[in-house]
Structure 1
Amino acid sequence: MTTQVFSRTLEKFSDDGFTPLGEVISPDDLAVYRVIYDRLLSGDIESGDKRSDLGSHVPRKEGVRENITQIMWPSALHPPLCDLPLHRRALTMARELIGADAELDFDMMIHKAPHTAVATPWHQDAAYWVDMPDRRAVSIWVALDDADLDNGCMWYVQGSHQEPLRPHRPTSDGRNIECDCSEDEPGATPVPVRAGEAVAHSGTTLHYSRGNTTDGTRRAYILNYRPAAMIQLERERGADHGLNENVRQVRNPDAAED
């Protein structure tokens, strides 16, 4: 980014709690990320207990595919991801947005298959996390497919990061949380992005996405950053966003050579 463009990006992130970042994965590299992503989805790269259905609070029948597939820590399950360009570029952007002490806290994949039509509920990420004395955090949401209104692009509420956290309640399965909000909320804004582009949001910004009602897939890769000292404090409190010994048990033995 040029200095002038970055200045506008930082201003928007500070004022609104979110900002488009433009292209973070080149067209030439997109195919590489999609192959790894699909290997994780198919089980070719085993994810063990890092995989869950974010839409499991919606009634579903035995044998039916997941409503919203979430895989935590893809970079731990498949370490070569860390050597590809996105992690370097995303870290640079995170440090520009929240400070030079930013480090990767965790990453995850969220996938919406064709015609699953299950929305991700409105929530604020910080409502999931342990309370930190320094609450700086940024999630960089990267589209591996064009993301629009019909397949589940992100929606944000402008300025919501500057307000107190809203009361959150468990979804009916008790595994996820949601809060009261809607697309009619003042400041609610959809942010369509093209494949390879990203949008950044604060840990306290209200957000959600519609379900995928299209014939295509919607693959998203999310990288979350916070100050290194706060990551250390999280880990001391036992909060590692699902990273534990099981990762080493399910990691592919040939991953480093892929």
Structure 2
Amino acid sequence: MATNPISSRAAIFREDGYARIGELLSSAEVDLYRAIYDRFLTGEIYCGDKRSDLGAGSAHSDGAAENITQIMWPSALYPPLLELPLHERGLALAREMIGDDAVLDFDMLIDKAPHTGMPTPWHQDAAYWVDLPDTRAVSIWVALDESILDNGCMWYVRGSHETPIRAHWPVGAGGGALECECSEDEPGATPVPLTPGHAAAHAGGTLHYSRGNTTDGHRRAYILNYRPADMVRLEREKGMDHGLKDNVRTVRNAAAR
């Protein structure tokens, strides 16, 4: 763990299991990321089977609108993202939150299409992960659109990162999403609206969810996940890479066509 003084937002993160971070991207940078993001959504940047609809339990096909589009490892599918500012700033923030040994574990895009109305169910990220001896982890959720109640801003349950991981089960037809018992009435449940370019951070055990998008616009978010370097190495030894190898293979195969 880092021995530097703990910042006020890191103290809030460790106490509550989540924290508002403030601005990570300027308005001009948000525009740049939106343009790249939309290249993923339109299919201009090939995603293969690393694109899925968390709200329907099926992969993107036949041009059908997705309720909750998830694209794993955008930085592997489109490496120029690594040269842009978000990954550098995200790493600095992760080290502030959980310690100087933090490294990128994986990144992903999650978009809620207009008028789809499909909520992301309550869950804890740790329910998806392999058991590790050091459970420090931070997910940095960056809003690229105005994130409000009506389009699916994040909700977090204060202090839930200090409680056991709840029983989870697959959502719907098996699109890979998990859910657990929780609701907006849970003590400590708090919505966290964000303006474009602003971010929130949450721990691996923090209960969170978002409502469906009932507005005319998209709710695009870029999420970066970090944990200690030794734990990423151990994770990989256990066979958990969040689809990284398959993504690299997908990109190479697409380029060869």
User: TM-score normalized by structure 1?
Assistant: 0.92
Match of 2:229 in 1: 228
Match of 2:119 in 1: 119
Write the distance in 2 (CA, Å) between the matches of 1:243 and 1:52. Answer: 15
Alignment of 1:1-258 (within 5 A): 7-57=7-57, 64-174=64-174, 175-250=176-251
**CA displacement at 1:63 relative to structure 2:** 6.0
Secondary structure of the corresponding residue to residue 189 of structure 1: strand
Write the distance in 1 (CA, Å) between the matches of 2:253 and 2:31. Answer: 21
Instruction: Output one character per residue of 1:162-191: Cα deviation in whole Å (capped at 9) or x when no partner.
Output: 001111111122322100000011100000
Residues 157 and 206, structure 2, Cα contact 8 Å, conserved in 1: yes
**CA displacement at 1:115 relative to structure 2:** 0.2
User: TM-score normalized by structure 2?
Assistant: 0.92
Q: CA RMSD in A?
A: 1.8
Give structure 1 regions of 4+ aligned residues with deviation exceeding 2 angstroms.
Answer: 61-64, 245-254
Residues 56 and 66, structure 1, Cα contact 8 Å, conserved in 2: yes
Residues 45 and 251, structure 1, Cα contact 8 Å, conserved in 2: no
Secondary structure of the corresponding residue to residue 182 of structure 1: coil
Return the letter of the residue paired with 2:241.
D
Identical-pair percentage: 66
List runs of 5+ in structure 1 lacking aligned partners: 1-5
Return the letter of the residue paired with 1:187.
G
Residues 46 and 251, structure 1, Cα contact 8 Å, conserved in 2: no
Match of 1:3 in 2: none
Return the letter of the residue paired with 1:223.
L
Secondary structure of the corresponding residue to residue 245 of structure 2: coil
**CA displacement at 1:242 relative to structure 2:** 1.1
**CA displacement at 1:246 relative to structure 2:** 4.4
Residues 71 and 109, structure 2, Cα contact 8 Å, conserved in 1: yes
| 226 and 65 in structure 1: CA distance in 2 versus 1, 3 angstrom threshold | same
Residues 115 and 215, structure 2, Cα contact 8 Å, conserved in 1: yes
Residues 158 and 188, structure 2, Cα contact 8 Å, conserved in 1: yes
Instruction: Output one character per residue of 1:17-46: Cα deviation in whole Å (capped at 9) or x when no partner.
Output: 000100001112111101110001111000
Return the letter of the residue paired with 1:79.
P
Residues 78 and 252, structure 1, Cα contact 8 Å, conserved in 2: no
